[in-house]
Structure 1
Amino acid sequence: MTKPACAPAIVLDGGTGRELLRIGAPFRQPEWSALALIEAPDYVTRVHQSYVDAGADVITTNTYALVPFHIGDDRFATHGGEWAALAGSLARAVAKAAPRPVAVAGSLPPVCGSYRPDLVDIDAARPILATLVAALTPYVDHWQAETLSSLSEATLVGELTAPTGKPLWLSFTIEDGETGGEPKLRSGESVADAARLAHRIGAHAILFNCSQPEAMAAAVKTARTTTDLAIGVYANAFPPQGDEAEANSTLHDIRADLDPAGYARFARAWREAGASIVGGCCGIGPEHIAALVIDNE
């Protein structure tokens, strides 16, 4: 296998929700991956450990679905901070016990719904994200704001995380498929503008996640020509999703061509385009991450 002519990348973990479902954790809508955290946190520990065993350099707190959109307003108001702290402590314990350095990323989700820039409400999102940031701060090495579909979401995250002094990685979801033009966020805003914003607010990295593997190389190249920040990619394994789609609204089919070897080929192309951080999102499991680690050596 031909290896990329570039330095080894930081390897992230993969998806959490489907892996929880695969190993038999409590799992249903609307709670999604938050249900295991609430009812059976040992399963969350098992998922973190599986990614450490696969060779990941970074594991991500299971807080993506820990928002009112998934668990309801009342449960978040009563237990949101408590459960976020639990998620942070679980990830930190696994990282601390690892036989090599493993970092913990604090997942900060799109509060008003994934893939839905039309639903972004900054005033509503502010107190929710503030709760997650306060609870996770003692446990995380950096913030990973994930699946952002608009610049306004990223701006808010930058404002709320800056006082913690911890590095911020901004990760955007982009339009799926080979667009043939300038890559864009799901809001229609440009990847170039997202890269400029990341630089302006002091982010340490700009990433692209939860989109088709085919769409990612163009986003990496655009970011590379716009900023000198570290660039990362963690794609999903779904077929392309239309404008009406919502991430985590249902279990989408997984593409047959995105087995571990197939996914690693995409990751190699992202690295050759300039990515220095690679991992996986929905549908990408420990076996895929192990393949990335082998190809990264």
Structure 2
Amino acid sequence: MDFKTALKQRVLVADGAMGTLLYGNYGINSAFENLNLTHPDTILRVHQSYISAGADVIQTNTYAANRLKLTRYDLQDQVTAINKAAVKLAETAKHAADHPVYVLGTIGGLAGDTDQAVQQATPAAIQASLTEQLQALLATKQLDGILLETYYDLPELLTALKIVKAQTDLPVITNVSMLAPGVLRDGTTFADAVIQLAAAGADVIGTNCRLGPYYLAQSFEKLAVPATVKLAVYPNSGLPGTDQDGHVVYDGDPSYFEEYAERFRQLGLNLIGGCCGTTPLHTAALVRGLASRAIVPHTAVAQPQSAPTLASTIGPHPFLQKVATQKTALVELDPPKDFDTAKFFNGAQRLKAAGVDGITLSDNSLASVRISNATIAAQLKLSYGITPIVHLTTRDHNLIGLQSEIMGLHSLGIEDILAVTGDPAKLGDFPGATSVGDVRSVELIKLIKQFNSGIGPTGKSLKQATDFRVAAAFNPNAYRTNVSTKSIERKRNYGCDYIITQPVFDIKNVQALADALKTNDLHVPVFVGVMPLVSYRNAAFLHHEVHGIRLPQTVLDRMKQAEQAGNERAVGIQIAKELIDGICDCFNGVHIVTPFNRFKTVIELVDYVQQKNLTSVQ
């Protein structure tokens, strides 16, 4: 009897975890998929343990056996060997079983993975990686089906399904992973995902990982999809914890799975297995818990019901409207390092009076501790009527903290954010501090913009849509600016609305940036950085010690001469004005960095930018 026929006749029990079992029970913490080659007896023993526990379906040890994931271990050229060995081991266990067993070739999702090779991969590279692994699995001609599991993004899973269906007639199981019961992280309901996957040709559709039996059962309780759809569930053993050494552990009692087995069957599930934290004991518990193997029909519905979405109502954002047609000045200020904030707010008021269009607030620049920029931003907006643009770094906040900060900013009515990585923690006041880096700056952009849909990262409704405009940073001082603009295109694809550059001191870099944007047909507002020099020593420090900033020798020479002549401030302002002239020939946006709280200098430059608009009118 083939796998498709078996699915129609009875509820099947699938195996459980491979990775967490190898980690927790065998003490292995490496490339689990490579064990197919280096420790085949261990993998075979795992398969045999699940079969002995009563599993009807087992999956190959190939979840991350793709080129992108294996690059981390320098095993990218072993894709074919690892996948073929995995199938052989599963087949060996199958043929030694005392009851019918079906083998699924497993391919895991990649979207949202923190591995560097995956993060930097293009959609085309991800598809090529999947295709290569799929072909290696299919080349064995021994599989009973393909399992696409742990897909957080429905579009990625639909693409993977399309690729698989084009190359094989084997049945395909597609499992999404939900961060909250009944909804994917982009707000798509589980019901809609099931319907879309069914329409795309999936033979079995379900969910795995992240959540335990309690929440996954909730996801199926109100699931209304066509009666012809076959359903699968692979819950985690429960929520993970950590031991005294900080290692992730699962301690879910297998008897809990026994309680849920019959409940899953009554909800209309055709295939019931386990994911992270589960063991052969959980599989045996599922087998014991099933009162029958008879299939229970689930609820059918004629038309899919889409999840309610909250449309983003984008507000005015005056400085972004202005920069489309006029010269516009933003000014960067560092929040105070102590509680004497009078000078800071007095300077901010003077900048407002001078006509500055917005004030950007750094997030502990150079990794030096300052008052929270969100707190300062709230005071600027609420007490002084100044538009703040808050820098938000991935350095200081983990994924939980980032979301909390984003929600807090919206609650304060602050809707402009510059998403940046942040200077390395070791540069600052506490070199022993660590940089977090849960996500990259581009992923932070995407995270912020998702809030504009009124849907949080877990897929839950926020009861209100935000109105964020997100800036991305860019360094035009880098060599080969025309090539570097690819990063701007990437940031635009992730949702950034405008660009703020690092300070420039060579107008050739500005012109090269403008040419590159035009050549690549990139239309995005750009605010080019200008940092007025206050002394020769300041210029030399920036040139020699600050990463990403280089000054032309002519500028260094002029500041050196100014030091000797005693007119460094005047020369520094003149150089800044010359740069503004060149910037305004190419762009409408200027971002002035305030040096050492020299508000008088910055106000003069803001006024100079404003005069450009008067000159153009005349």
Fold match (TM-score > 0.5): yes
Q: Superposition pairs for residues 236-247 of structure 1, below 5 Å?
A: 236-239=236-239
- Measure the CA separation in 2 of the matches of 1:99 and 1:223: 36
Which residues of 2 match residues 188-203 of structure 1 at below 5 A? 188-203=187-202
Aligned 1:33-112 pairs, distance under 5 A: 33-72=32-71, 75-112=74-111
Identify the residue that residue 287 of structure 2 maps to in structure 1: 293
Larger Rg: 2
Stretch moving more, 65-74 or 44-53 = 65-74
Tell me what 1:133 maps to. Answer: 134
Give 1:252's aligned residue: 248
User: Any stretches of 5+ residues in structure 1 without a counterpart?
Assistant: 1-6, 242-249
Aligned to 1:158: 161
Specify the SS of the correspondent of 1:59: strand
Letter in 1 for 2:268: G
Alpha-carbon spacing, 1:189–1:102, altered in 2? closer, same or farther (3 Å) = same
- 2:271 is the alignment partner of 1:277: yes
Whole-Å separation in 1 of the counterparts to 2:21 and 2:72:
26
1:146 equivalenced with 2:146 (yes/no) = no
Q: 1:187 corresponds to which residue?
A: 186
Give the drift of 1:221. 3.5
Cα deviation, residue 228, structure 1: 2.5
Question: Is the Cα–Cα contact under 8 Å of residues 66 and 132 in structure 2 kept in the other structure?
Answer: no
| Distance across 1 between alignment mates of 2:10 and 2:288 | 11
Displacement of 1:155 in angstroms is 1.3
Matches of 1:161 and 1:71, distance apart in 2:
21
Greater relative CO (CA pairs within 8 A, separation 6+): 1
1:176-205 deviation per Cα after TM superposition (whole angstroms, max 9, x unaligned): 4xx5xxx11233322122111111111111
Equivalent AA in structure 1 for residue 254 of structure 2: P
Please state whether the residue corresponding to 2:63 is helix, strand or coil: coil
Q: Summarize the Cα distance change of 1:220–1:108 in structure 2 as closer, same or farther, 3 Å threshold.
A: same
Q: In the superposition, relative to structure 1, how do residues 43 and 224 fare at CA in structure 2: closer, same or farther (>3 Å)?
A: farther
Return the offset for 1:274.
1.6
Counterpart for residue 168 of structure 1:
172
Matches within 5 A, 1:207-226: 207-212=206-211, 213-226=213-226
- Which segments of 5 or more consecutive residues in structure 2 lack a partner in the other structure? 1-8, 293-618
The corresponding residue for 2:257 is: 263
Cα distance, 1:23 vs. partner? 4.6
Structure 1 residue 131: Cα displacement: 1.3
d(CA) in 2 for partners of 1:224 and 1:49? 37
After the TM superposition, which parts of structure 1 deviate over 6 Å for at least 4 consecutive aligned residues?
Answer: none
Over 3 Å counting, the alpha-carbon distance change for 1:121 and 1:188 in structure 2 is farther
For 1:227 and 1:251, the matched residues in 2 are separated by: 43
- 1:19 to 2:21 alignment: yes
Letter of the 2:214 counterpart? E
For 2:286, the aligned partner's letter is: L
User: Percent identity among equivalent residues?
Assistant: 29
SS at match of 2:42: helix
Aligned to 1:225, the other structure's residue is in SS state coil
* Aligned-partner Cα distance in 2 for 1:68–1:80: 6
User: Counterpart of 1:4?
Assistant: none
Partner of 1:246: none
Shift of 1:269: 2.1
Verify the 8 A CA contact 1:122 1:156 in the aligned structure 2.
no
Q: 1:18: how far off?
A: 2.3
Q: TM-score, normalised by structure 2?
A: 0.41
Which residue type is aligned with residue 165 of structure 1? D
Distance 1:288 1:240, change over 3 A: closer
How far apart, in 1, do the equivalents of 2:99 and 2:269 lie? Answer: 23
Q: What secondary structure, in the 3-state scheme, does the structure 2 residue paired with 1:280 have?
A: coil
Q: What's the offset of the Cα at 1:62? A: 0.2
Q: Is the contact between residue 11 and residue 289 of structure 1 (CA under 8 Å) also seen in structure 2? A: yes
